[in-house]
A and B are shown apart, each in its own frame.
Chain A
Amino acid sequence: MSILEVKNLNLRINGKKILSNLNLEINKGQVHAIVGPNGAGKSTFASAVMGLTEYRDISGKILFKGEEIQNMTIDARAQRGMSFAWQEPARYEGLKVRDFLLAGSRQKDEDYIADKLEKMGLDSQAYLQRAVDETLSGGERKKVELASIMAMDPEMIMLDEPDSGIDVGTLEKIFEIIKDLKQKGTTVVLITHSIAVLKQAEHAFLMCHGEIIDRGSAEKIIPYFEEKCIPCPHKNLPEEGDISHE
């Protein structure tokens, strides 16, 4: 049963075509990966699904739990049960971790959000009163971002490059969290060009030049991605009418 359906999605930025005729379904409660080289359009796709401001020039349909959401605001989509974790999360001058987590939390309760921080391996006593600013390292900020999403407890989470800017220990922690989320029935969409992250997924979509060029089990996609896509020199987005992998 699908939780997200994307039908004939096209997206332009500054008049340039970035996503071309995308069709895919994300199954409820499973871990999916959108994989592809840099510039393939993976993050753009997730941003369009979330409805981020710079990614609104689209045609086609995005259905979440059967409801068309492509014309909805970001918060309306979030309220319906989806969220998005940025590759490089935003930093906020003066805003405390406590207030950041409580803002979107399903339960407005300090013990509840403290538990989410602890699950990410952060000492809640030490972190709740810290600011979500430059004083947090990249890894700490990423953990706070994931704690915030866990506190929100959405039905579908899109994680953009969850392995970027973090150490091996933190990545292992994130992989544990992904397993926990799957166990409790949360749908996870991993945006990645990392084999290690791709291996956490059950299903994968291979993207290149704004198109889905293959789909299937992660086991099926991994060898092709590793052997064909990673060595491929296609790095830049195509001009209109040039959407083709081969």
Chain B
Amino acid sequence: MSKPESIAKTLSNVSDIDILNNPDIAHIFINQNKVIKTNSIPGLKIETAEVEDRIEVKVIIEAGVKIEHPVHMCFGMMSREGVQKIVMDIQAKQDSKVDVLAHCAFPNAENIKHIMEAEICLEKNASYSYFERHIHGDSGGVEVIPKANIQLQEKARFYTEFELLQGRAGTIDINYETDCAKDSVLEMVTRINAIKDDVVKIKEVGNLHGDHARGFLNSRVAARDNSKAEVYNKLTASGSYARGHVDCKEIIKDEALVSAIPIVEVSNPKAHITHEASLGSVDSKQLQTLMSRGLDEEKATDLIIQGLLS
């Protein structure tokens, strides 16, 4: 099996469905800076271009089209070192709806950089959900730098979830910013497990410009050993009746260091935003309850963290 086929197979295996051979499922497979396979379907067009040091990907969901099966995006590198840069342009036209499952696999990483730069535009009443799961190796030699600018037009709905629970986080530097028009809905969820000397930085910004826009920024991080995690959540509201909430929870163990900077900014007396942040060790009552069922402290802690990040 050739290397591109190998990674396609590996990435394909993260799902129960045989994505590669299913013509009804839109997908794109990229190994480092090489496009292995793409599949467009009626109403959803995927265009790619290999340009110098990067791959440019354009995804267009046509107006009124509701995509039945989730689109699979698989980005990864089987090699130990190298740089992968992907520039995404996603346009969900009016009244369209699509769910995306993205898998990013770097199982052998020793010195790998994964850069993602995305421009996402959801037109009026469009709906786009993006679930991104990272699968890393145990060396921690991976740097993940995803950056996204998201525009939500009237009544658009955007949901994104970033999950990194398998393998070492390495260095994560997330930077997402969303502008929300009237009646639009934004939800960003991040769940990361950091160990050893992993470094996690999360910056998520939501601007609720439109009347009745809603936003929720939700971050969950467990930091152990000597890892570091910094979460910067900012939610602003200038639209009348805009509503938002920022929720950050970070659990710390060992010599780890965590910080949270929640910023809420309201410039309209009819808007309302709340926030809560909780940083520290696992809750004593939760821990002691599990210990009273016979679990030792380590196992009880692991179970609590597993729940938090699930």
Contacts and interface: CB of A to CB of B under 8 A. Distances in A.
B249 A74 contact: no
B291 interface: yes
Contacts of B283: 90
Interface of A: 50, 52-53, 73-75, 77-79, 83-84, 86, 89-96, 99, 103-104, 131-132, 148-149, 152
Contacts of A79: 294
B310 A95 contact: yes
29 contacts: A53-B284, A73-B291, A74-B292, A75-B292, A75-B296, A75-B297, A77-B292, A78-B291, A78-B293, A84-B292, A86-B285, A86-B289, A90-B283, A90-B286, A90-B289, A91-B286, A92-B307, A94-B310, A95-B303, A95-B308, A96-B307, A96-B310, A99-B303, A99-B307, A103-B290, A103-B295, A103-B299, A104-B295, A152-B293
Given A74-B288, A99-B306, 14 more contacts: A73-B291, A75-B295, A83-B294, A86-B289, A89-B289, A93-B308, A95-B306, A95-B310, A103-B290, A103-B300, A104-B290, A132-B307, A148-B293, A152-B293
B264 interface: no
A150 to B, nearest CB: 11
Nearest to B309: A94
A90 B285 contact: yes
A79 to B, nearest CB: 5
Nearest to A105: B293
Contacts of A75: 291-292, 294-297, 300
A103 B304 CA distance: 11
B110 to A, nearest CB: 32
A89 B310 CA distance: 21
A90 B291 CA distance: 12
Contacts of B290: 103-104
Contacts of B303: 95, 99, 103
Interface string B232-250: 0000000000000000010
Interface of B: 249, 283-286, 288-297, 299-300, 303-304, 306-310
Contact of A83 (B249, B285, B293): B293
Contacts of B293: 78, 83, 103-104, 148-149, 152
Contact of A92 (B249, B286, B292): B286
A131 B299 CA distance: 19
Contacts of B309: 94
Contacts of A152: 293-294
A104 B294 contact: yes
A195 B283 CA distance: 33
Contacts of A93: 249, 307-308
A218 B79 CA distance: 73
A93 B300 CA distance: 14
A90 B287 CA distance: 9
A128 B295 CA distance: 20
Most A-side CB within 10 Å, residue of B291, B306, B307: B291
Contacts of A95: 303-304, 306-308, 310
Contacts of B310: 94-96
A149 B291 CA distance: 12
Contact of B308 (A94, A99, A149): A94
A99 B285 CA distance: 17
B292 A78 contact: yes
A63 to B, nearest CB: 18
A235 B294 CA distance: 35
A75 B292 CA distance: 6
Contacts of A77: 292
A151 to B, nearest CB: 9
Given A53-B284, A92-B286, A95-B303, A74 B308 contact: no
A83 B290 CA distance: 10
Given A74-B291, A86-B289, A92 B296 contact: no
Contacts of A148: 293
Contacts of A94: 306-310
Most A-side CB within 10 Å, residue of B289, B291, B304, B309: B289
Given A86-B285, A93-B249, A78 B294 contact: yes
Which 3 A-B pairs rank lowest in CB-CB distance, beginning with the nearest? A104-B293, A95-B307, A94-B307
A92 B304 CA distance: 7
A52 B288 contact: yes
A73 B287 CA distance: 12
Nearest to B284: A53
Nearest to A106: B294
Contacts of B285: 86, 90
